[in-house]
Amino acid sequence: MPDGRPLHSLIMNLLVYPLIALWTLAGILAFPFLYAFWKIFVNADRSRIMRLFVWVYGRGWMAIMSPFVTFRRDGFDQITASAPYVIVVNHLSFFDFYCMALLPFDNVAAAVRSWPFRMPWYGPFMRLAGYLDVESLGWKGTLAKGAETLSEGGSIVFFPEGHRSRDGKLHRFMSGPFRLSVETGVKVLPLCLTGTDVLLPPGRWWISPARICLTALPPVDPKSFDGPSAHLKLRKFIQAMMARKINSMRDE
Amino acid sequence: MSDEEVIGIINARIAEEFELDPDMMVAQALLYDDLGLDSLDRVDIVILLEQAFKFKIREEEAIREIRTLGDIHGFVINKVRSLSEGQGA
């Protein structure tokens, strides 16, 4: 059990996990009816509907967490909600993607490894939402499907470190998201996340009260970088600006 | 340029670009399993080598056979030699 307020943490764990399970079950049971309703009356695209549902599910998760976790977002006043972005976020916790419900738009797919697709309560919905299984698709397939998603107006979230950081520091970035940005001309939206490593760091199962902050940095236009190594320059530029911001957020 | 200099340049550029510990840069290191690189990183390595040694290699079949850092060393050493022989002829 964590240090600090052990009773508070115990109550949090006893309440939050069952509520998340209930919220997930309710979502699964309600899904066919909600999907049919949206399809018939709104006539939206399948993946578009699913991304909205996932965003709403994330907002529900935030509501469940809210007695114990504070959520804050900064920098989103400079974001164009209708524009697609290649979104890159630092990775600290299993719950990082849930925090994408803090985004002011919901048409968001994720590019992740294969294992989340194998969770029976999430995997089918991830596929319906058009999420990208980077390991199964390979980078070539991921870039092709990613370009298709962006051309349809959807943004894509990448965790460019590939793994959760175990020391809170920003680690090496894979170049895939930046190559996608250069190839499509779609801006990169860097997001800096803090606090989820306090909530649930890697290697632990109990959760702890936390203050989560998601900060958007100004979107970066890939056209500012040229040459055959444009994506590498873009990657280094964004990694450096995120590292600076995360350090300053931790010092606050 | 000596073989050792070529190897030194390759190791330094790859270690810097991919934020790898210089101690990991041994000839037998597998690019994927030991250095944690992926298929796109292989493409990026080709770009790095082209920039470092001022040659074009992206269309060469032999690149597809590269598995270890030592394979890269051997490939580049041969390439540098053949280019310098071509210039000397």
pLDDT tens figures, A141-177? 999 999 999 999 999 999 999 889 998 889 999 999 9
For residue range B50-81, list pLDDT tens digits in order. Answer: 999 999 998 888 888 899 999 999 999 999 99
Q: What does pTM read for this prediction? A: 0.87
Query: What average pLDDT does this structure show over A26-53?
Result: 90
A chain contacts of residue B49, beta-carbon cutoff 8 Å: none
CB A184, CB A147: distance < 8 Å: yes
Confidence band (pLDDT; 50, 70, 90) for A139? confident
Inter-chain touch A228–B50, beta carbons under 8 Å:
yes
Inter-chain touch B38–A171, beta carbons under 8 Å:
no
Q: Of A201, A171, A167, give the one whose Cα is nearest residue B36.
A: A171
Residue A2 has pLDDT above 70, yes or no: no
Confidence band (pLDDT; 50, 70, 90) for B31? very high
Burial of A86 (0-12, 13-18, 19+ CB in 10 A): buried
A chain contacts of residue B39, beta-carbon cutoff 8 Å: 138-140
DSSP state of B68: B
Quick count: other Cβ atoms within 10 Å of Cβ A61?
20
Quick count: other Cβ atoms within 10 Å of Cβ B44?
22
Inter-chain touch B19–A232, beta carbons under 8 Å:
no
- Average pLDDT of the residues of chain A: 93
Q: Please, what's the b/e burial string for A145-180 (b: 16 or more CB within 10 A of its CB; e: otherwise)?
A: bbeebbeeebbbbbbbbbebbeeeebbbbbbbbbbb
Distance CA A205, CA A219 (A): 35
Q: Which of B18, B39, B51 sits opposite A229 (nearest CB)?
A: B51
Does residue A69 come out as left (phi exceeding 0), alpha (psi in the -120 to 50 range) or beta? beta
Inter-chain touch B48–A179, beta carbons under 8 Å:
no
Distance CA A19, CA A5 (A): 21
pLDDT at A131: 96
Residue A3 has pLDDT above 70, yes or no: no
Residue A230 has pLDDT above 90, yes or no: yes
Q: How far is B40 from chain A (nearest CA, A)?
A: 7
pLDDT at A179: 95
Confidence band (pLDDT; 50, 70, 90) for A12? very high
A chain contacts of residue B17, beta-carbon cutoff 8 Å: 232
Inter-chain touch A228–B17, beta carbons under 8 Å:
no
CB A178, CB A130: distance < 8 Å: no
For residue range A94-111, list pLDDT tens digits in order. Answer: 999 999 999 999 999 999
Which ipTM value was assigned to this complex? 0.71
Nearby residues of A93 by Cβ (< 8 Å), 6 or more positions away: A164, A196, A197, A199, A200, A201, A202
Q: Which of B17, B38, B48 sits opposite A174 (nearest CB)?
A: B38
Distance CA A94, CA A100 (A): 12
H or E, element range at A111: strand A108-112
Q: Which of A139, A172, A232 sits opposite B39 (nearest CB)?
A: A139
Question: Nearest chain B Cα to A170, which residue?
Answer: B19
Distance CA A80, CA A65 (A): 28
Q: Of A235, A199, A229, A230, give the one whose Cα is nearest residue A214.
A: A199
pLDDT at A184: 97
Query: How many beta-carbon pairs under 8 angstroms link A with B?
Result: 27
Q: Which tokens is B7 given? A: 């190897």
The residue behind tokens 């309710």 is: A26
pLDDT at A78: 83
pLDDT at A170: 93
Inter-chain touch B44–A175, beta carbons under 8 Å:
yes
Residue B86 has pLDDT above 60, yes or no: yes
Query: What average pLDDT does this structure show over A128-152?
Result: 93
For residue range A56-102, list pLDDT tens digits in order. Answer: 999 999 999 999 999 999 999 988 888 899 999 999 999 999 999 99
Q: Which of B18, B41, B47 sits opposite A228 (nearest CB)?
A: B47
Residue B89 has pLDDT above 60, yes or no: no
pLDDT at A112: 93
